[in-house]
Homo-oligomer: A and B are copies of this chain.
């Protein structure tokens, strides 16, 4: 079956919704429905020629359409679970933005729904897995190229919330969840490392800090990454962290090359100069490998008794393992939008194949685990003790 035979409906028209649409269009998937505010949904539909428009945030109407096979949920975090459950209930496949939900209690329901016999395909949008570099690192670990993994180190650093006047709904626990830096970007880091190691986090020691205890916000709504003038600002108390140091212990991987690996991650949304640096270093007894999202097309392989190597996507040493997840030849850089494309390709091919392709994308269970992990991070920060997930 061609991917063109599949039809997507997208809930949400903010920053990330159009990212989904664009990626789906590249794949040849039909985007047949859009849901959001009446005004914004219409504008989005006009731009891409999407035939069915569901205004007034009426996602249930969209779920009823016979012309939609897969639902993309890019709405606020608070409604992810509700919308996921509704979509599953009517037999639609789902690609849900992360986090899967606000509490593990509610995300457990999604896991349960997905476990039912004959349930549709469900993916959480941890799309960093689909950077070819991440897939390549995973393949190297799996094959034992790096020996036994001994430690992992890295960071996810941004600076878009550096100033007290920087505002976004994520700053409010009521909107984005109690964990912000760790919840919003830290989970990408953890999910990527978990994917690379093929092992889940078992316990965590976390140190969180909120540098701006009070911030200023404009009146009214604000889009993600939009800049806002300080004219009509009002102060508010910040109940989410700016920064976190995480010491994680990962469990055992089936392939046997990782067992009890310690990882150290620094997560910050106030690290001046870094725009979106997701950096991962994986160290094993035979070699290491490191990657930064800021230079997504290359990884450095570190060795002790032979020279370090620069692996460039699409060239020797970095093409065989990722052949299905990159479209452009070596030296022709791919980027952030391409990771979305590759993620959705993996999901849609899984559907098109009748679930015959391997499940590389994050499952509901993975999404649920990340939410549990965030709860453990909070608890560790409060108790100052290591906490099991």
Binding site for B on A (CB under 8 A): 2-4, 15, 19, 22, 25-26, 28, 30, 46-49, 146, 150-151, 153, 155, 158-160, 162-163, 205, 207, 209, 211, 225, 242-243, 245, 247, 262, 264, 266, 268, 270-277, 281, 283-288, 290, 293-297, 300-312, 314-318, 327-338, 384-386
Please, could you name 26 A-B residue pairs with CB atoms under 8 Å apart, sorted by A? A3-B47, A26-B26, A150-B211, A150-B242, A153-B266, A160-B304, A207-B262, A225-B329, A245-B247, A270-B283, A271-B283, A273-B301, A273-B303, A274-B302, A274-B331, A275-B331, A277-B331, A293-B333, A294-B331, A304-B316, A307-B312, A308-B310, A308-B312, A309-B309, A309-B310, A310-B310
- A273 to chain B minimum Cβ distance, whole angstroms, is 1
Is there contact, CB below 8 Å, between A273 and B247? no
- A199 to chain B minimum Cβ distance, whole angstroms, is 16
Q: Which of B207, B268, B295, B317 contacts A283 (CB 8 A)?
A: B268
Decide yes or no: A311 and B303 within 8 Å by CB, A247-B207, A331-B274, A333-B294 being known contacts.
Answer: no
Decide yes or no: A276 and B337 within 8 Å by CB, A2-B46, A47-B2, A311-B307 being known contacts.
Answer: no
Is there contact, CB below 8 Å, between A4 and B49? yes
Is there contact, CB below 8 Å, between B304 and A307? no
Which residue in chain B gives the minimum CB-CB distance to A328?
A: B336
Is there contact, CB below 8 Å, between A288 and B274? yes
Q: Which of B3, B155, B162, B304 contacts A272 (CB 8 A)?
A: B304
A interface: dominant SS: loop
> CA–CA, A41 to B48, complex, Å?
24
Residues of B within 8 A of A271 (CB): 151, 153, 281, 283, 288, 302
Residues of B within 8 A of A333 (CB): 293-296, 333, 335-336
> CA–CA, A83 to B311, complex, Å?
41
With a 10 A CB-CB cut-off, give which of A46, A225, A308, A309 has the most chain B CB atoms: A308
Is there contact, CB below 8 Å, between B153 and A155? yes
Is there contact, CB below 8 Å, between B312 and A310? no
Decide yes or no: A272 and B315 within 8 Å by CB, A153-B266, A245-B262 being known contacts.
Answer: no
> CA–CA, A300 to B207, complex, Å?
26
Is there contact, CB below 8 Å, between B306 and A316? yes
Is there contact, CB below 8 Å, between B207 and A304? no
- A219 to chain B minimum Cβ distance, whole angstroms, is 23
With a 10 A CB-CB cut-off, give which of A19, A262, A273, A328 has the most chain B CB atoms: A273
